[in-house]
């Protein structure tokens, strides 16, 4: 049942909101655990490619190759293929000791740490294949960790507590991103990239402790019979049935919503490095300063969605996120290292980061409402994969485009990608209705 305040837009008392948000962190070990698990989720993704791109630029890897290496995050787009199997089967060895959910969480965290150590001992300047192989392994381990932690979060708490669990998970995730972004960049300047990646591997330990302290949810029932195709198809079939005639435009909207951001982000750090900013400069502005900017975008989205509705929020999110890339184009034209140019850099990152965070929370809320309770983990994994895949594939060609057009026109182009997405959002809003309550499957509705 949706919170009436979420449906009607009526604000809840501020004191009640604050107390209800903070108290469970100290009284409910599920909430404390999800904060630590969210932190562990926030570490791998940036280290697969985004943070690592600064290392690749320093190693003088060609921009075209760096762009292609953004495809190393492909596992995050395909995780829906194996998500249903993680719901049905225990992790080897650990599953018997810890249970299905926690067993898989700890297993994937061990694999993430090992993959990070593997990247640490690579040398992209002289042996790029090693870096590619371990980065791909890191992506698979990190994507699988996302699936099993999301599955634990959804099944460990009742529906009325999911908003609280998701909020603390998001806070943990952003702190993990801060460590994997600013932390790794600072460490790389001070001690080198090997030390930075080894420290990131060690930072998986708090997530493992959180998994060990977390309660194991009730074991799922006996899995339905069926092979690989049926296992993967069942949650997809349910989603398509509930969406009905709107299936194609809604799924196209999900697929296109973050496309401009994925393409733009692939070349953001290479732009900053090309303009002469150090890893420390980039870490300070994009991660430390950007962390608080992103929290502002997150809180604004959380406040606006109940008041203006889901579809209006989606439209604002896609327009502002795409338009923010014009700030990157301006920086590419007028930016440079030192003096007043540094504040142009900071303002650009602030604009882009705020818009990105706002749009991300809006989309997460929308995808959560599209997911049915019976298939929440699998359908959410499917929707997040669909959201990421098109933009990730286009990002692979970003280096080639920049070699042809230059950075300014590239970011103008990524901004224009948002125009058809906004038009599609208007179409869906007109046919979809306000959609301010979670969708139900036929079984739930009855």
Q: Phi and psi of 347, rounded to 5°?
A: -65, -40
Higher per-residue pLDDT: 47 or 155:
47
Q: Is 295 exposed, middle or buried (0-12, 13-18, 19+ CB in 10 A)?
A: middle
Contact partners, residue 179, CB within 8 Å, separation at least 6: 39, 42, 43, 200, 203
Q: What percent of the chain has pLDDT over 90?
A: 39
Largest Cα separation within the chain, whole Å, is: 65
pLDDT digits 0-9 by tens, 363-394: 887 887 787 766 767 888 889 888 887 887 88
Answering whether pTM is above 0.95, one says no
Which domains does the chain show, CATH number per domain? 25-222 (1.20.1250.20), 232-432 (1.20.1250.20)
| Token couple for 89 | 């089967």
Cα(184)–Cα(249) distance, integer angstroms: 40
Q: What is the pLDDT of residue 156?
A: 80
pLDDT beyond 60 at 442 = no
Q: Residue for token digits 């079939």? A: 237
Cα distances from 407 to residues 54, 379, 399, in angstroms, run 16, 37, 10
Taking residues 240-261, report their average pLDDT: 92
Sign of the dihedral through C-alpha 408, 413, 414, 415 = positive
Beta bridge partners of 123: 127
Q: What is the pLDDT of the chain when averaged over all its residues?
A: 83
Where b means 16+ CB within 10 Å and e means fewer, 60-74 reads: ebebbebbbbbbbbb
pLDDT of 399 reads 85
Query: What are the structure tokens assigned to 426, written together?
Result: 């208007």
Measured distance CA(139)–CA(141) in Å, rounded: 6
CA-CA-CA-CA torsion sign (400, 385, 42, 175): positive
Residue 393 CA to residue 263 CA, distance in Å, equals: 9
Alpha carbon distances (Å) from 357 to 1, 59, 295, 317, 361 = 27, 30, 7, 9, 6
Q: What is the pLDDT of residue 219?
A: 65
User: Comparing 167 with 398, which gets the higher pLDDT?
Assistant: 398
For helices 310-323 and 247-257, what crossing angle results, to 10°? Answer: 40
Query: Please, what is the Cα angle at 209 between 203 and 210, to 5 degrees?
Result: 100
Q: Which of 316, 324, 323, 317 is CA-nearest to residue 350? A: 324
CA–chain centroid gap for 206, Å, is 20
Mean pLDDT of 307-333: 91
| Tens-place pLDDT, residues 80-115 | 888 888 877 889 989 888 988 899 999 999 999 999
Q: Is 93 left (phi over 0), alpha (psi -120 to 50) or beta?
A: left
Per-residue pLDDT tens over the stretch 165-220: 777 787 899 899 889 988 998 899 999 999 999 999 999 999 999 999 999 887 65
- State residue 299's pLDDT score: 76
């Amino acid at each position: 049942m949706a919170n009436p305040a979420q449906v009607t837009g009526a604000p809840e008392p501020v004191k009640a909101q604050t107390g209800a948000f903070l108290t469970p962190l100290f009284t409910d070990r599920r909430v404390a655990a999800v904060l630590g698990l969210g932190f562990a989720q926030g570490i791998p993704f940036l280290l697969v490619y985004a943070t690592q791109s600064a290392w690749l630029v320093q190693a003088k890897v060609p921009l075209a190759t760096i762009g292609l290496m953004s495809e190393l995050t492909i596992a995050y787009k395909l995780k829906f293929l194996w998500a249903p199997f993680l719901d049905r089967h225990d992790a080897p060895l650990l599953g018997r000791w810890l249970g299905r959910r926690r067993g898989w969480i700890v297993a994937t965290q061990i694999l993430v740490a090992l993959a990070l150590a593997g990247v640490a001992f690579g040398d992209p300047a002289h042996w790029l294949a090693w870096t590619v192989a371990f980065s791909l392994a890191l992506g698979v381990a990190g994507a699988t960790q996302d699936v099993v932690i999301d599955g634990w979060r959804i099944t460990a708490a009742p529906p009325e507590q999911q908003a609280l669990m998701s909020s603390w998970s998001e806070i943990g995730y952003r702190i993990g991103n801060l460590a994997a972004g600013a932390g790794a960049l600072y460490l790389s300047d001070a001690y080198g990239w090997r030390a930075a990646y080894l420290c990131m591997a060690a930072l998986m330990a708090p997530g493992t402790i959180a998994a060990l302290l977390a309660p194991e949810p009730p074991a799922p029932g006996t899995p339905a019979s069926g092979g690989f195709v049926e296992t993967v198809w069942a949650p997809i079939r349910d989603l398509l049935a509930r969406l009905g005639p709107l299936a194609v435009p809604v799924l196209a909207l999900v697929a296109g919503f973050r496309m401009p951001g994925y393409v733009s982000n692939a070349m953001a750090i290479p732009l900053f490095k090309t303009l002469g900013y150090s890893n420390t400069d980039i870490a300070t502005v994009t991660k430390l300063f950007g962390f608080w900017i992103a929290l502002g975008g997150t809180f604004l989205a959380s406040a606006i969605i109940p008041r203006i509705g889901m579809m209006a929020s989606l439209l604002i999110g896609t327009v502002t996120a795409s338009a923010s890339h014009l700030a990157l184009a301006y920086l590419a034209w007028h930016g440079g290292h030192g003096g007043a140019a540094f504040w142009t850099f900071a303002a650009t990152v602030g604009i882009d980061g705020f818009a990105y965070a706002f749009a991300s929370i809006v989309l997460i809320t929308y995808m959560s409402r599209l997911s049915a309770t019976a298939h929440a983990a699998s359908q959410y994994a499917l929707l997040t994969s669909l959201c990421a895949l098109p933009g990730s594939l286009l990002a692979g060609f970003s280096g080639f485009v920049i070699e042809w057009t230059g950075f300014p026109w590239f970011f103008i182009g990524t901004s224009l990608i948002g125009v058809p997405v906004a038009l599609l959002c208007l179409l869906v809003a007109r046919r979809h209705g306000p959609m301010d309550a979670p969708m139900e499957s036929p079984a739930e509705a009855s």
